[in-house]
Structure 1
């Protein structure tokens, strides 16, 4: 036969209450820690995930636009390059003819 021991019953009740109190203290500590962490983050002036994603997508769009404009500029420069040396050569030829005429005129004088 088993008899109930009042000492063990009291000890079991005490432990049940202690575990309940410990659990409540743990939850309270967690909520206080979370509140302090939230306040710290708010004071740090950090961006939210939505703001970060919006800026990141704007940056990606800008980088795509820059890449497209760079390709377009390279294509325009490739088209304009053959004309540039011919223009420079013509300018040099005209300058040398003018210089030669000036020398000839100076020599005649």
Structure 2
């Protein structure tokens, strides 16, 4: 009877070691898969979401700047056109 509890203790120890080994193997496999997926994504020349968002924000700001510049240019062109109109002097003597 004295061997029986020791047997179960040994069995529990082996099972605990096996679970620890499986957990370590699981983490290692996950790390390998993550690494492999990153390699595949890098080879496909894909961009990460963060990079895409930054470029999209830059493009939005550039578009707004371009629209502002176009509006200013149109205003300047209309002022130039107005200044280039032939100026007819007015006669103040009623003639």
TM-score (norm 2): 0.60
Q: Distance in 2 between matches of 1:57 and 1:13?
A: 57
| 2:22 corresponds to | 22
More helix per residue: 1 or 2?
A: 1
The SS at the match of 1:45 is: coil
Alignment RMSD: 3.1
Query: CA offset at residue 30 of structure 1?
Result: 0.8
Partner of 1:13: 13
**Deviation of residue 16 (structure 1)?**
1.0
Tell me the TM-score normalised to structure 1 length. 0.54
Query: In the alignment, what sits opposite 1:40?
Result: 40
Cα deviation for residue 60 of structure 1 reads 2.8
Report the Cα offset of residue 43 of structure 1.
Answer: 1.0
* Alignment gaps of 5+ in structure 2: 86-95
Aligned length: 80
